[in-house]
Structure 1
């Protein structure tokens, strides 16, 4: 079986986790702090805050921006449902904008028509690791005074050219960027997430809220030579990352450039092997974007049935996934008033499939996948 994804974990990660277990400090501690420093340095962000997953990162971002009932948050339906769910959990209303068919990202040409006097924030998704057009989006957001949260769950290692310079996703280009370290992502800690920001006050809020609103972190209290009584100054959450996860994450960060380079090589092979098939639309990078190729999504010719193609590939030992889901088609959002049609989002879900891609994927396996897709298209 060729899986849809496979994390690259080895002895280095196992040894790092073992060292933490034997240290006696396994919850949030010195490894988390080191992981935050190293991640911030890697992406060029002044501040980073590690949390339990990307969903909690997004929730902390909205909470720190005081998003709540009566507010509207613009985002895409074409994303994992967590993107919409965190807005609902705040009591705010998600407002869905359609996507571009080429990048599967928010169509900035449709953005401004979704803005109202109640719009407080935009959650922009760098879908499948492909950077969104942040230059166009930020021009609108800054002119309108709207906060921007980057859902960069899939985008660790991706880059974007802004103001003539290449920079990693997470610098951040908006107000806050949120990352995932789920096993389907380019680097993993099993579960885990990270927020980055250039705003010191937002970072202070993240770190307060993630630990129950505790005024004094555990690490400070336990290392103090005098007795300290903590206070709980806000209603917070338990969204902490463990030191075991962070130790694994630090080793994964060391691998990130190589992991991205390997994925880009697999994507290049797919482009070469599938590029001349009539009706099959391949993903492509805009001139200002460098994807980490967290996923490789192809749009099937109209004559092919998505489920049938996926089943035929599965019968040949090749795992695939359907196109990214649309939240507005799920029951919790079925009654939501929509301000624009989401045709491209729906077509992307119904007509696309994700092909296997991971750093250690061999040329033979990618050729086998390509041959199977070619057989379906030419059948």
Structure 2
């Protein structure tokens, strides 16, 4: 079976975790600080704060941005459910907007049409690693005095107009889940250029504790901590951070290899008229966290039938990106929601295997099987059509 994805971890990461375990400091400590400093330097942000996962990163970002009950936050429905969940965690209301069919990213014009006097922020998602149009949303937020937050769960290593994702706005949240380009088992990171956000994020991730464990451990005098506000246990461990440091060292190489696989797919599928390939426009640089193909002629090619035929041949695939407003937990938020583009993309897109290292024979097998199955279904359908 060729899997849809798998993490790229080597003996270097294993050794880093091993050394950290034996160091005696395994929770949030010196390795976390090192990972934060190196991640900030990599993205071009002033600061980075490591947390337990991207969902907790989004939750804390909402808090420091001042979003709360009564506020509305515009976001795509076409995103993993954690995007909208983080808005609900602070008592605010997610307002779902449409996405662009070519990029799967939030449509600025549709987002603007959904702004009300209760709108407090826009949560922009860089879907499957493809950067969204950050400048368009910075302009939009500037005109309406809104906060801009970025869900960059899939976008470590991606870039927008020559600068890495993570450096463009005040709060950018990353994931290190195993499905992402680099992984710490699980984990997350928030980048920011604001010192006040940085200091409060560090406070909130550790129960609102005024003095962290490392400061107390290294102190030559007795220190008693205070818990100055309601906080959370959203810490990253030093074991995870040690792995993350090694992963970060390989990130650019991993992205380069992923882009080679995406280019091989592009070349193999470019002449199939019934599908639309991922679009990467000038100034946009994707890490290709996922490779999603849209089936244009659904009368000729059934997405689910195609997925099953590929699975029968030993190739795992996934359906298009979920629509949160279709989930049971969001029924009350979907009463008057009309998102035909998002729903069409979910229903008629297929995500193909892409991981490092993916062998040339595996890439060839996927491209050959996909092409054969699409063309076979298309041909059989056309033969049934009357002249």
Normalised by the shorter chain, which TM-score bucket?
over 0.9
TM-score by length of 1: 0.97
Deviation per residue, 1:23-54 (Å, 9 max, x gap): 11100000000000000000000010000000
CA RMSD in angstroms, aligned pairs only: 1.0
Q: CA deviation at 1:363?
A: 2.0
Is 1:378 the counterpart of 2:342? The answer is no
Deviation per residue, 1:280-312 (Å, 9 max, x gap): 111010112010000000012312222111111
Is 1:215 the counterpart of 2:201? The answer is no
The separation in 2 between residues aligned to 1:307 and 1:377, in whole angstroms, is 12
Aligned residue-pair number? 374
Q: CA deviation at 1:86?
A: 1.0
Residue 81 of structure 1 corresponds to: 81
Q: Do 1:98 and 1:340's aligned partners in 2 also have CA atoms closer than 8 Å?
A: no
Q: CA deviation at 1:109?
A: 1.8
Is 1:40 the counterpart of 2:37? The answer is no
Residue 164 of structure 2 corresponds to: 168
Q: CA deviation at 1:340?
A: 5.6
The separation in 2 between residues aligned to 1:329 and 1:274, in whole angstroms, is 31
Residue 334 of structure 1 corresponds to: 331
The separation in 2 between residues aligned to 1:115 and 1:137, in whole angstroms, is 13
Residue 272 of structure 1 corresponds to: 267
Say which SS state the counterpart of residue 240 (structure 2) adopts. Answer: helix
TM-score by length of 2: 0.95
Say which SS state the counterpart of residue 225 (structure 1) adopts. Answer: coil
Unaligned runs of 5+ in 1: none
Is 1:4 the counterpart of 2:1? The answer is no
Structure 1 runs of 4+ aligned residues shifted over 3 Å read: 337-340
Q: Which has the larger radius of gyration?
A: 2
Deviation per residue, 1:145-192 (Å, 9 max, x gap): 11111000000000110xxxx100001x22200000001000000000
Q: CA deviation at 1:65?
A: 1.4
The separation in 2 between residues aligned to 1:73 and 1:119, in whole angstroms, is 6
The separation in 1 between residues aligned to 2:333 and 2:261, in whole angstroms, is 40
The separation in 2 between residues aligned to 1:272 and 1:337, in whole angstroms, is 39
Structure 2 matches for 1:234-313, cutoff 5 A?
234-300=229-295, 301-302=297-298, 303-313=300-310
Residue 142 of structure 2 corresponds to: 142
Residue 379 of structure 2 corresponds to: none
Is 1:224 the counterpart of 2:219? The answer is yes
The separation in 2 between residues aligned to 1:62 and 1:91, in whole angstroms, is 10
Larger CA deviation: 298-307 vs 140-149 = 298-307
Say which SS state the counterpart of residue 96 (structure 1) adopts. Answer: strand
Say which SS state the counterpart of residue 277 (structure 1) adopts. Answer: coil
Unaligned runs of 5+ in 2: 377-387
